[in-house]
Structure 1
Amino acid sequence: MSHDDADRPVTITEQPGGAPAPAPRPVSGPAPEDEVARLCAELIRIDSSNYGDGSGPGERQAAEYVMEQLAEVGLEGTLLESEPGRATVVVRLEGEDSSRPGLAVHGHLDVVPADAADWQVDPFGAEERDGCIWGRGAVDMKDMDAMILANIRHFARTGTKPARDTTFVFFADEEAGGEQGSHWLVDHHPHFFEGVSEAISEVGGYSVTVPTRQGPQRAYLLQTAEKGIAWLRLRAHGRAGHGSVPNDENAIVRLAGAIGRIAGHEWPREYIASVRELLDTLGTMTGLSSSDGDLEPLLATLGGAQGFVRGTLRDTANVTMLDSGYKHNVIPQTATAAVDCRFLPGHEDALMATIRELAGEHVEVEVVHRDVALEAPFSGDLVESMKQALLREDPGAAVLPYCLSGGTDNKALGRLGISGYGFAPLRLPADLDFAPMFHGIDERVPVDSLRFGARVLGDFLRTC
C-alpha cells in the first residue's frame, strides 16, 4: 500500500464472512461487567507489540478484532491505517443531548514488547491465575480497551445512549509517541473530533490504599495533568584512531562526561497545582507533613504509585540507550546516547537550555521526538461526573488529582483544544503493586477490578 493509499480510511462495514452488518436494535445480552474479562483476555492474546522502529506486528489484527466486536452488535466502525498494519478504529455514538459539546473516550491497541523469559507466564497467553488476567497489556491498556468495548456493545444491544455525543477511538502507536496513531489522526482526519471538548483515557482512576488516621482508606488517583516529553539523542564528536594510541579527543569519553553531568544535575522542585493538591490532601488524610522538606513518609503512603508522583516533583532526564564503536582496538569518531526527558508544564525551554549546557561543546543535542505537557482543572462537570461514578460504586473513598510522569494520547487531542483526563477506573486490592506493572513484567489485572471498572465507566458515560 502506498502512503497515499494509507491516508485514505479503510472502512469495514461487513461482518466476517461477508454478511451485511445488521441495523442496531435493542436486544438483551450480557452486562458490560459480564464480558469485560473475556474481551480483555482476547485482546491480550493478540500480539500488538510496538518496538518503536516500525518493526513488529502492528495493531491491524487487534483493530480487526475491535471491528468484529462492533459489527456483532450492529455498529459500523471506521478502521484507518497510517502505514500498512498501523491501524486505528473510530466509532461514534449519538448522545441523549447532542446540543452539548462532545466527549472522546480513547485507548490504544499497541503494547510495549515483552521478553517471555522474564515472565512467570506467557505474556500473550492471557492466563487467569489468582483472580487476575496476566499478560502484556493487562495494565497498559487492554484492560481499559475492554471496558470501553464492553460498554459500547451494551449501549448498542440495549439502545442506550451516552449522555452526550461520544467518539470512541482505539489508537495505534501510543507506545512510540503516537506519530502513527493519535497525531496522525489529528493531522489527517480531525473531523472525527468536531464538537468534542473533553476526553478521557488511561493512567487514572485506579485506587491506592492509604493509611489514614481513621484506618486504611481507598483513594482514586484521577489524572488531571501529564508531563511533556523530549526524547533526545546526544551525539559526541571526536578523533578516530588506533586503540593503542593516546587520544584526548575520544568521542566516547566526551559522551561519558556529558552523561555524567546530566545524571548528576539536581533539577529544582516545583509543585504544579495537581501535585500540590494531591500532597496537601494526603497530608490531611494521613497526618503527615506535605511541606517541601522530607516528603518520603508521605509519598510512601501511595505504595507503588509513589514513583509516578515522585517523577512529577521536578523535570527529569534519564539516559536509556548507548551506541558507539565497531571494534575493540578502534577509537570511534562518534558516540551517541538516548535521553528520555520529561518536563513540567511551562518548563520545556528551560529544560532544553540546561541539557545543551550540560552536554558541552563537543556534544550536539538532537530532538528525536517532543510533545507537550498538559494540565486540566480538578473541577467542573466532567470531573464531578467521574468522582460521583466512582463514589456510587465505592462510597467512602477519596478521589484525588495527580500528574502523570509519562504521557498519553491526550497530548495529540490537546492540539485540537480538547481537555484530557486519565480515567480508567479500577478498584484494586491493597496488596497489589499495580503502578510498577506499567511496562513491567508479570503485568496482570484482577477480574473483579475489571468488572468494577466496566460498571463505573458505564455509569459515567450515562451521566457525564
Structure 2
Amino acid sequence: MTIHAADRPIAAEDEVARICSELIRIDSSNYGDGSGPGERKAAEYVMGELAEVGLDAELLESEPGRATVVVRVEGADPSRPGLAVHGHLDVVPASADDWQVDPFAAEERDGCIWGRGAVDMKDMDAMILANIREFARSGTKPARTTTFVFFADEEAGGELGSHWLVDHHPQWFDGVTEAVSEVGGYSVTVPTPEGDRRAYLLQTAEKGIAWLRLHAHGRAGHGSVPNDENAIVRLAAAIGRIAAHEWPREYIASVRQLLDGLSSLTGIGYAADLEPLLGTLRGAQGFVRGTLRDTSNVTMLESGYKHNVIPQTASAAVDCRFLPGHEGTLMATIRELAGEHVEVEVVHRDIAIESPFDGDLVQSMKQSLLREDPTAAVLPYCLSGGTDNKALARLGITGYGFAPLRLPADLDFAPMFHGVDERVPLDSLRFGARVLGDFLRTC
C-alpha cells in the first residue's frame, strides 16, 4: 500500500516553523515593571493548540494577564520518575528602530525567522508544542510522565511565573526529578586538526543572580553652591569602584570540562593563555567569558529633577551574577566597594545551580543529538544568565539547558539573546523538533 504525504500524520518538524512564527507575532514583552502586555494572549494561543489535539491543559494566572500554561502527559512507563520540559512565553522588549525588520512580524528572510523571541525562547516553545501535538495525534507516549510548562515572567526573574507556580501549585511537579529547558543544545563550529567540527553545548550549570540597587545619600542644595556631600558624586564614585574591580577567575567544574573538551577537539591548550581557545567559540565566547568569574554591571541610573538643584539621593541598578558558592563573597565585596554613603538594596536574588554531566538523562540528550549529527561532539557549559530551572531546583529537581539547534557555522547566534535582529534558521528549528521528539521518546 502506498502512503501519500497527505495521509501521513503531521510531524513536529512540519509545523514547528508555523508555531514559532505565530508565537513571535504575539507581543509578550516583559518590561519588568508590570507595564507590558503580559503573557495571556500567548498562553491562550498555547491552550488553543493543545485543545485542538484533545489535550486538557490548565491556564494559571499569578496576576491578571500574567499567565502560565501547564499540561501533564502520561509516560510509557509511569513508574519511572517524572520529567519537566519547560519554556517561557515572555520576551524582553524590542525597539523597532534598531531592527532591520519589524521585531513582531516573524518575517522569513535568508532562510530564517526573524523576530523577538526567535532564540529566546519561542523557538523552543514551538519545538515543545509541536512535539506535544505530534504525540497526541499519533497516540505516542513520552518515555516518562512529563509535565510541560509554558511559564510567565522568566525575563523578570520568574516571580510571577516559575517561582509563583512552585509556591502555589507545586503539585504539578509531584514525582518530577529532572527538567530540561533553555539555553543549551545549540551548536558551535570549531576548528580541529581534521577540519571544522560541530560541538553542541549542553547547559549543566547557571550562575546565580543578584539584582541590586545602589542608593547614594547626600545633602540637597543649589547648583551654584559648592557641595562636598553630593549624592550623584558619591554614587559615581561607587560605580567607578565597582566597574574597576577585578573579580578573581575561577574554573568551576562545568567550565573546566568545557575548556578541556574544546582543547581536546582543537589541539589548543589554555594553561598559559586562554584567549586562543576562547576564540574558537566565535560568538558563543561571550557566554563563556561570563562564567570565568563573578560579574557586576551597572545597567540603570536615576537622579535629579532640575538642572540647578543638587539632589539629595541618586540610585543605580547593578546586575550581579555569581558562581556557585560565591554569593556571600560577592555581596560583601559590593558593599565594601559601594562605600559608607551608599546603601545596597537587593531587588531580586536567585541561586546558582550546577548539575552533573553524566547519568541517564544526559546520555539521552547526547544520543538524540548524535543520532541526527553523528560526527559532532557534545560538551557541558555554564550559563552566565539564568533560567526557570532555578525555581524548580527548590523542589529538588535537577535542571539542564537543552533547546537543540544545529546552526550554520557563520551565524553569530549567542549575541542575539536580548540583542537586535534576533533570528533562527528554519532548518535549525526542524532539526530541533526532531531531536527533542527523539529525546522525549527515549529518555
Asked if these proteins are the same fold (TM beyond 0.5), I'd say: yes
**Deviations along 1:403-454, whole A, 9 cap, x unmatched?**
0000000000000000000000000000000000000000000000000000
Residue 314 of structure 1, aligned match among 283, 288, 293: 293
Asked if the contact 1:209–1:430 (Cα under 8 Å) also holds between the matched residues in 2, the reply is yes
Select the residue among 19, 33, 43 that pairs with 1:39: 19
Structure 1 residues 395 and 440: alpha-carbon distance in aligned structure 2, compared to 1, 3 A threshold: same
Map 1:35-184 → 2, pairs under 5 A: 35-184=15-164
Q: Which letter does structure 1 place at the counterpart of 2:108? A: E
1:20 aligned residue = none
Structure 1's consecutive aligned runs of 4 or more residues displaced over 2 angstroms after TM superposition are none
1:333 aligns to 2:304 (yes or no): no
TM-score of the aligned structures, taking structure 1 as reference length? 0.94
In the alignment, is residue 436 of structure 1 matched against residue 411 of structure 2?
Answer: no
- TM-score of the aligned structures, taking structure 2 as reference length: 0.98
CA distance in 2, matches of 1:281, 1:94: 37
Partner amino acid for 1:95?
G
- Partners in 2 of 1:287 and 1:75 — Cα distance? 50
SS of corresponding position for 2:191: strand
Match of 1:381 among 349, 352, 360: 360
CA deviations over 1:278-328 (Å, ceiling 9, x no partner): 00111111111122x421110010011100000000000000000000000
Matched position secondary structure for 2:319: strand
Q: Which residue of 1 aligns with 2:4?
A: none
* Residue of structure 1 equivalent to 2:345: 366
Match of 1:10 in 2: none
Contact 1:174 1:408 in 2 (8 A): yes
Amino acid of the structure 1 residue aligned with 2:320: C
User: In structure 1, which of residues 267, 271, 290 is the aligned counterpart of residue 270 of structure 2?
Assistant: 290
1:392 aligned partner:
371
**Contact 1:316–1:342 under 8 Å retained in 2:** yes
Whether 2:405 is the aligned partner of 1:422: answer no
Match of 1:103, SS state, is strand
Residue aligned with 1:150, SS: helix
Quick check: 1:267 aligned with 2:247?
yes
Paired residue secondary structure (2:210): strand
1:281 paired with 2:249, answer: no
CA distance in 2, matches of 1:307, 1:118: 21
* Number of the residue aligned with 1:255: 235
2:198 is the counterpart of 1:238: no
**Following the alignment from structure 2 to structure 1, what is the Cα–Cα distance between the partners of residues 313 and 193?**
57
1:23 is matched with which residue? Answer: none
Q: What CA distance in whole angstroms lies between the structure 1 residues aligned with 2:192 and 2:67?
A: 45
Deviation (angstroms), 1:28: 5.3
Alpha-carbon distance between aligned partners in 2 of 1:62 and 1:213, rounded to the nearest angstrom? 47
> Corresponding residue for 2:283?
304
The aligned residue for residue 412 of structure 1 is 391
Q: SS at the partner of 2:72?
A: strand
**CA distance in 2: counterparts of 1:342 and 1:455, whole angstroms:** 34
CA distance in 2, matches of 1:81, 1:29: 33
The 1-side partners of 2:261 and 2:422 are apart by 30
One-letter amino acid matched to 1:274? S
Q: Please point out which of 212, 216, 229 is paired with 2:192.
A: 212
Q: Deviation per CA, 1:82-129: give whole Å up to 9, x if none.
A: 000000000010001111100000000000000001001010000001
User: 2-side partners of 1:325 and 1:139: how far apart?
Assistant: 38
- Counterpart residue identity of residue 204, structure 2: T
Distance in structure 2 (CA, Å) of the matches to 1:73 and 1:287: 50
Instruction: Give the share of equivalent positions with the same residue, in percent.
Output: 86
Secondary structure, aligned partner of 1:230: strand
Contact 1:315/1:351 (<8 A) preserved = yes
Instruction: State the one-letter code of the partner of 1:384.
Output: Q
Structure 1: tracts of 5 or more residues without a match: 1-26
Measured in 2, the distance between the counterparts of 1:97 and 1:426 equals: 28
Matched with 1:6 is none
String of CA shifts for 1:221-275, please: whole Å, max 9, x gaps. Answer: 0000000000000000000000010100000000011000000000001111000
Please tell me whether the aligned partners of residues 28 and 157 of structure 1 are also in contact (alpha carbons under 8 angstroms).
no
Mapped partners of 1:49, 1:205: distance in 2: 25
Residue in 2 aligned with 1:449?
428
Separation in 1, partners of 2:315, 2:348: 16
Partner amino acid, structure 1, of 2:278 = L
Displacement, 1:29?
A: 2.5
Residue 197 of structure 1 corresponds to: 177
Q: Distance in 1 between matches of 2:233 and 2:35?
A: 32
Q: Distance in 2 between matches of 1:435 and 1:266?
A: 25
Amino acid of the structure 1 residue aligned with 2:378? V
Q: Write the distance in 2 (CA, Å) between the matches of 1:284 and 1:139.
A: 29
Letter in 1 for 2:365: M
Cα distance between partner residues in 1 of 2:371 and 2:237: 55
Q: What is the identity, as a one-letter code, of the residue corresponding to 1:344?
A: L
Amino acid at match of 1:376: S
SS in 1 for 2:307: coil
The count of residues paired between Structure 1 and Structure 2 equals 437
The amino acid that maps onto 1:185 is L
CA contact (8 A) 1:28 1:158 kept: no
CA contact (8 A) 1:103 1:198 kept: yes
